[in-house]
Structure 1
Amino acid sequence: MGCVSTAETGRRTETVDTDAGPARITWLPAKNARLVLAVSHGAGGGIETRDLRALAAALPAHGVTLALVEQPWRVAGKKLAPAPKTLDTGWRGLWPALTAAGLPVVAGGRSAGARVACRTATELGAHAVLALSFPLHPSPSSQLRSSRGDPIGKPEKSRKDELLGSGVPTLVVQGGNDPFGRPAEFPPGEYKIAEVPYADHGFAVPKKSGLTEDEAMGVLTAAVIAWLSTLV
């Protein structure tokens, strides 16, 4: 385990050994922090996505220390994510470092990272779960849709059980046009859902929507900040 600090911002990077290989945490500390939000990336990218960058810029000023987690496969430079079991192993190995400060930890992630957070929340004692772009359906190519955009076929492929089984307070933030699951497709359950209008799986919004990227990220961060304020 090792750390690299940046004095100007307080940002520091920590390498953590897990049973799936070395993982990395980029810490963005808050003054007088009341909780930690640990967020991992998806299967197709790292911590540089627009939603994670927006949260990194906004949350420390609201008393939330952000921990941006890079899974071992990403740290190793691999292009393809491993099986869910291996992803969960890497996340479990990071947990002691995430809880070391003694603060409540909200487990989070985008896409595949959201699934990991949901699957392990109860086991690890997460205070809550933040699921960004939860992939309710396996992939657009395997999920047929009607002319109205309603999902048809392969209902057994839904990942709703992972979401509904988190066992802790959960917020889903979903793009209004996310092909992996639009907000209206999500099942009833004891979780909250916030919509970023017109956004796709990566929270990009089309120019014709009239919504800028900054405005879309403002919707996302406002929803997360408001929800986190109810937890502690």
Structure 2
Amino acid sequence: MSAELIDQPKGQALATLLLAHGAGAPMDSPFMNELAAALSARQVRVVRFEFPYMAARREDGRKRPPNPMPVLEKSMRELRAGLQGRVFLGGKSMGGRVASQLAAELGASGFVCFGYPFHPPGKPERTRIEHLQQISCPGLIVQGTRDPFGKPDEVATYPLDPALQLHWLESGEHDFRPLKSSGLTQQALIEEAAAVAAGFMAAASRR
């Protein structure tokens, strides 16, 4: 497996999205594969990579906890430095948190979070929103309405920057998996997330 995976759209890309994985699954998990494919189908060039702890797990098969935040940030900084043109930072869950913290500093055109970890499940008092209270570049969070890391009624009480865009996926869990009774599918919600993200990047690129 290469250190990076690149999903190149057919024709001209509207932007490049440096896309980080979440805490527990690699860059080529089914979710990440489907999301990257849905984004590239909408003219987004997607560059996926793995943080050091996940790359080490790929080598020896041993599960590890995520690296400390400074290590995660260093990894994304290094990859961002090698990308040219219109670049957005993004990620699933933990990866989105890293992206949102670094986007402005690294001169990105914006950031996109897929399932943001507003707080650990069952611990709503431990919020991770300080840097989202005042953002200095365009930002989008796409969140399932059943996400235990942050549901609509909780997020509505947070003092988030009004410029931060939120899009709710009806019935979606943290991985955008809906209830069967909703009549929706995970694939449909991933496609919706990709469509919203591509639209956001196109609009931010016109600024």
Q: Same fold (TM over 0.5)?
A: yes
CA contact (8 A) 2:115 2:141 kept: yes
Across the two proteins, how many residue pairs are aligned to each other?
195
Which residue of structure 1 lines up, in the alignment, with residue 42 of structure 2? 62
**One-letter amino acid of the structure 2 residue matched with residue 142 of structure 1:** K
Task: For CA contacts below 8 A with separation 6 or more, give which structure has more relative contact order.
Answer: 2
Judge conservation of contact 2:104–2:110 (CA < 8 Å) in 1: no
Kindly indicate whether the alpha-carbon contact (under 8 Å) linking 1:115 and 1:163 is maintained by their aligned counterparts in 2: no
Other-structure match for 1:92 = 77
TM superposition shift of 1:141: 3.5
1:118 and 2:87 aligned: no
Equivalent residue for 1:140, pick from 107, 113, 121 = 121
- Kept in 2, the 8 Å contact 1:172–1:192? The answer is yes
| Other-structure match for 1:178 | 147
1:3-152 counterparts in 2 under 5 A?
A: 13=2, 24-30=3-9, 31-77=11-57, 78-97=63-82, 99=83, 102-137=84-119, 139-143=120-124
Unpaired segments ≥5 residues, structure 2 = 58-62
Q: Is the 8 A contact 2:86 2:108 kept in 1?
A: yes
Greater Rg, structure 1 or structure 2? 1
Match of 1:213 in 2: 186
Q: Partner amino acid for 2:139? A: T
TM-score (norm 2): 0.86
More strand by share: 1
Q: How many percent identity over aligned positions?
A: 29
For the residues of structure 1 that align with 2:33 and 2:90, how far apart are their CA atoms? 14
Q: TM-score normalized by structure 1?
A: 0.77
**Which residue identity is paired with 1:36?**
T
Paired with 1:120 and 1:198, the residues of 2 have a C-alpha distance of: 30
How far 1:184 moved relative to its partner? 3.5
Q: Deviations over 1:105-147 (max 9, x none)?
A: 100011111111111112111110001111111x22333xxxx
Gap change, CA 1:181 and 1:42, over 3 Å in 2: same
Deviation at residue 167 of structure 1 after TM alignment: 2.0
RMSD of Structure 2 on Structure 1 (CA)? 1.9
Cα contact 1:119–1:165 (8 A) shared by 2: no
Q: Deviations over 1:14-61 (max 9, x none)?
A: xxxxxxxxxx22111223223101110111111234543233222223
